[in-house]
């Protein structure tokens, strides 16, 4: 059996022999079949190995007084909420300022058959620039959720954009979020993780070396995998975003980061001579990294999920999708509600793997952040030599 989609006398067949996260070929077939409607601003290169990148439609961006989610029970469309949002149009090139909220039409709509659904994540670059980007969709109550699999679903998708620290310039030449499509839940449970670990390791040392069996105890018992903080005393271990008034143009490259970020150095940990610690202050936003290299085999993808509050009242998952073939040290966007001291090798991230529906191209060949070995700045910036040296 398979879903059959006719377009211009051709028939596109999407096999249902296996289910899971859609690959590049699966996503391309969905676009060709009209199950994902692309709008002005969409480019073929926006179809990635396991997701579709989305940006804004020119002429459909607004500053709003508040963000309101549509009611699924009442079948509300996002446009139905405009009286409550009180939108004021903004153009491409407008400076989006921290503290304000914006909404823009995304470059795709959906026409999903039953049993197909999707979720969204902010792009890594959005997260690293401390820009909170989420999606809203017609008739769906949650953020970053395109899920009405029980009935099928057609509707519009919108982006919400909230700069948190420094202003950014609105552009349609960079993508803000990505949509991942599924036709079955293949997220790892504990037995899936155990079987995968029989075949290969998923976490390595920062230098790529293997851990000895029993040296790591980072399985959570529910199929997810913990990663820990890198905070070696005396080292530059991350960055804190600065509250500058200078707008960032997301299309720029090679920028000096010192206007937008300041380095974070780990302090001595009096109770652990081989460790270190850092203290996070509420209201500030940090880029930090894990003490482990994360490996995502090409038949899997991974999502960074919320860490349980028992580990502390901090958040480390602004942007959290890792493509098939990713291998590197994850950079995490971190903020907290209370002053929070974190120690070297303390739990900071939680990853859940899931299976791809079919083979796809590897992120290692195309990704901006492939192979990173320490906390990595957004792609708009070039790391100063003195900062790089302080990390070693």
**DSSP letter (8 states) at residue 64:** E
At residue 341, the pLDDT reads: 95
Nearest CA among 194, 265, 231 for reference residue 347: 231
**Residue 45's pLDDT is what?**
95
Helices (H) and strands (E) in the chain, counts: 6, 30
Alpha-carbon span 200 to 260, nearest angstrom? 39
pLDDT at 219: 66
pLDDT value at residue 115: 95
Residues of the chain below pLDDT 50: 1-17
**Strand 248-249 relative to strand 168-169, pairing:** parallel
The span from the CA of 166 to the CA of 103, in Å, is: 18
pLDDT, tens digit, 9 for 90 and up, residues 145-192: 999 999 989 999 999 999 999 999 999 999 999 999 999 999 999 999
Judging by beta carbons within 10 Å of its beta carbon (0-12, 13-18, 19+), is residue 255 exposed, middle or buried?
A: middle
Q: Which of 90, 82, 70, 262 is nearest to 161 (CA)?
A: 90
Q: What does the CA dihedral 209, 210, 212, 216 come to, rounded to 10 degrees?
A: 100
- DSSP secondary structure letter of residue 309: G
pLDDT for position 338: 92
- What's the pLDDT at 207? 84
CA dihedral 156, 157, 160, 161 (to 10 degrees): -120
Q: Any residues with CB less than 8 A from the CB of 322 and at least 6 apart, and which?
A: 294, 296, 301, 302, 303, 304, 330, 351, 363
Helix (H, G, I), strand (E, B) or coil at 132: strand
- How many whole angstroms from its chain centre is CA 166? 19
pLDDT of residue 367: 75
Distance from C-alpha of 323 to C-alpha of 14, rounded to nearest angstrom: 21
Q: What structural domains does the chain harbor?
A: 2-182 (2.70.40.10), 190-391 (2.70.40.10)
Q: Are 150 and 114 in contact (CB under 8 A)?
A: yes
* Tens-digit pLDDT profile for residues 256-294: 999 999 999 999 999 999 899 999 999 999 999 999 999
DSSP string, 339-390: -EEEETT-EEEEEEEEEBSS----HHHH-TTTT--S----TTB---HHHHHH
DSSP designation for 199: H
d(CA 138, CA 159): 12
């Amino acid at each position: 059996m398979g879903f059959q989609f006719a377009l211009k006398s051709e028939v596109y067949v999407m096999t249902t022999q296996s289910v899971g996260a859609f690959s590049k070929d699966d996503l391309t077939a969905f676009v060709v079949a009209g199950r994902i409607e692309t709008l002005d601003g969409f480019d073929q290169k926006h179809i990635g190995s396991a997701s579709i990148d989305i940006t804004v439609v020119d002429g459909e961006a607004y500053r709003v007084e508040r963000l309101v989610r549509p009611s699924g029970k009442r079948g509300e469309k996002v446009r139905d909420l405009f009286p409550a949002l009180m939108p004021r149009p903004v153009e491409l090139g407008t400076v989006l300022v921290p503290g304000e909220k914006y909404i823009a039409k995304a470059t795709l709509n959906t026409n999903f058959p039953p049993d197909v659904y999707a979720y969204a994540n902010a792009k890594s670059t959005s997260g690293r620039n401390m820009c909170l980007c989420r999606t809203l969709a017609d008739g769906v109550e949650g953020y970053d959720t395109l899920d009405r699999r029980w009935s099928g679903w057609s509707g519009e998708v919108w982006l919400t954009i909230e700069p948190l620290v420094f202003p950014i310039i609105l552009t349609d030449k960079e993508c803000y979020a990505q949509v991942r499509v599924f036709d079955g839940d293949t997220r790892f449970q504990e037995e899936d993780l155990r079987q995968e670990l029989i075949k290969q390791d998923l976490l390595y040392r920062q230098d790529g070396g293997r851990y000895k069996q029993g040296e790591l105890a980072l399985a959570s018992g529910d199929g997810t995998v913990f990663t820990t903080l890198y905070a070696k005393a005396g080292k530059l271990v991350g960055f804190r975003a600065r509250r500058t008034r200078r707008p960032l143009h997301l299309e720029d490259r090679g920028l000096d980061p010192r206007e937008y970020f300041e380095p974070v150095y780990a302090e001595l940990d009096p109770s652990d001579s081989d460790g270190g610690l850092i203290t996070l202050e509420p209201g500030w936003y940090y880029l930090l990294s894990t003490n482990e290299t994360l490996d995502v085999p090409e038949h899997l993808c991974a999502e960074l999920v919320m860490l349980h509050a028992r580990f502390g009242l901090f958040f480390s998952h602004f942007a959290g999708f890792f493509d098939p073939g990713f291998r590197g040290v994850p950079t995490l966007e971190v903020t907290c509600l209370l002053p929070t001291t974190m120690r070297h090798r303390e739990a900071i991230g939680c990853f859940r793997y899931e299976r791809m529906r079919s083979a796809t191209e590897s992120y290692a060949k195309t990704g901006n952040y492939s192979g990173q070995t320490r906390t990595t700045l957004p792609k708009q910036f070039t790391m100063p030599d003195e900062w790089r040296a302080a990390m070693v």
